[in-house]
Homo-oligomer: A and B are copies of this chain.
Amino acid sequence: MLDIFKVPEEESVRVRAADLRRVVTSLFERVGVPPDDATLGADVLVRADERGVDSHGVSNMLRGYLTGYQEGRINARPEWRVVREQASTATIDCDRGLGIIIGPKAMGLAIQKARETGMGAVTMRNGRHMGMASYHAMLALKHDMIGMAMTAVGANVLPTFGREGRLGTNPVAVAVPANEMHPFVYDVATSMVAANKLQLIRRLDAPIPGNWIADMEGRIISEPGPLPEAGQYKLLPFGGTRELGSHKGYGLAMVVEIMCSILAGALPGAMTQRGPANHFVAAYNIDAFTPVDEFKKTMDEWLRLMEATPPAPGYARVLTPGQEEAEAEVDRAAKGIPLHKEVVQWLEDICKQLEVPFNLREFAASA
């Protein structure tokens, strides 16, 4: 993680994951989500916090989800259904259900199909925010499968050479099991930076690097500086400038839009005023392609080799995708989840407002 995303220790309070799950579950239930779904939704959010993916954890996401439920934009009791299906594939209408809750169900279907035919792919229209995409991809791991998840949401990101937003930050996640090593978990926005990460930066009041955003006319801001006010900048596709390959990030965001939206029978973000989030999940059954034991053994050896790559001058080590998150899991299991003080205060306030018990103990105090 870049240092600019780290919450300073003195501004944070460490809380217990179990407490956080309980509070979040109660809040979801309070806005009408059935108990099982509320528990699942809380798990997706808190899992992000446990893995150090603060941008997609409770701090950044919960407020918007609760408001969405309260205002009726998100359906607390969606009647999602499979609208088209073949042996390896399905299309789901999410009935405005939250992606963090319907994603795991769609992934369950993809896993089932992968067990039967070798792989399964499910595209999902009319959904709402998916949270940390890798949560859904990682559900495949315990079945010895490779999981994939992507989501298309909104139209804030400029095409290469463009001055108007036409694409979402459209992340892609891939999770691959190893044996003794941590799983490979890739989860990246196809924009230069996830919109949620900019929110985090705003809270931390940090400057942003050059080539991350453009001004309102689409001129790329190439020097580092403060993040302009909300609504006063445009997001760039991954790559930043054409010379640095922004057409690759832009094109990949379009691939995500096609698989999540158009393949699901929905319109892409640029063609709707304020579109829903559409998703795509897939599972590949490793045993259908090659013996699982050999596969995981090679993954172990390869991840070790990659992480042992001699670093370039000035760097301590080479990382692999999922390594820092696995390390954060160990660290946060031992020390609790650090939440910014403002976030804890907001949680207390919202619990009071919704008449939900606020029993979030400080980690050290409860040890």
- Nearest-Cβ distance from residue A181 to partner chain B, whole angstroms: 13
What residues of chain B lie closer than 8 Å to A220, measured between beta carbons? Answer: 312
Please give me the residue from chain B that is nearest to A125 by CB atom.
B290
Q: Does A161 contact B (CB under 8 A)?
A: yes
The complex is assembled from copies of this chain, and their number is 2
What residues of chain B lie closer than 8 Å to A257, measured between beta carbons? Answer: 302
Which residues of chain A from 279 to 297 have any CB-CB distance to chain B below 8 Å in the complex? Answer: 284-286, 288-291, 294-295
Please give me the residue from chain B that is nearest to A192 by CB atom.
B245
Question: A25-47 interface mask toward B, CB cutoff 8 Å, 1 = contact, 0 = none?
Answer: 00000000000000000000000
A312, B219: Cβ atoms closer than 8 Å: yes
Q: Does A119 contact B (CB under 8 A)?
A: yes
Among A267-275, A346-354, A355-363, the stretch that binds chain B is A267-275
Taking A87-B117, A119-B119, A217-B312 as contacts, is the C-beta distance between A245 and B238 under 8 angstroms? yes
Contact for A263 among B89, B166, B295, CB less than 8 A: B295
- Nearest-Cβ distance from residue A127 to partner chain B, whole angstroms: 15
- Nearest-Cβ distance from residue A230 to partner chain B, whole angstroms: 21
- Nearest-Cβ distance from residue A160 to partner chain B, whole angstroms: 7
Please give me the residue from chain B that is nearest to A309 by CB atom.
B162
What residues of chain B lie closer than 8 Å to A209, measured between beta carbons? Answer: 243-244
A248, B243: Cβ atoms closer than 8 Å: no
B87, A302: Cβ atoms closer than 8 Å: no
Please give me the residue from chain B that is nearest to A218 by CB atom.
B312
Q: Does A8 contact B (CB under 8 A)?
A: no
- Nearest-Cβ distance from residue A110 to partner chain B, whole angstroms: 11
Taking A119-B119, A270-B302 as contacts, is the C-beta distance between A263 and B146 under 8 angstroms? yes
Please give me the residue from chain B that is nearest to A220 by CB atom.
B312
On A, residues with C-beta under 8 Å from B are: 2, 84, 86-89, 91, 116-119, 121, 123, 146, 158-164, 166, 172, 174, 176, 184, 186, 188, 192-193, 209, 211, 214, 217-220, 238-240, 242-245, 247-248, 251-252, 254-255, 257-259, 262-265, 267-268, 270-271, 284-286, 288-291, 294-295, 298-299, 301-302, 305-306, 309-313, 315-321
Task: List 6 additional A-B contacts (Cβ < 8 Å) besides A262-B290, A265-B289.
Answer: A84-B290, A162-B312, A218-B313, A258-B299, A262-B298, A265-B290
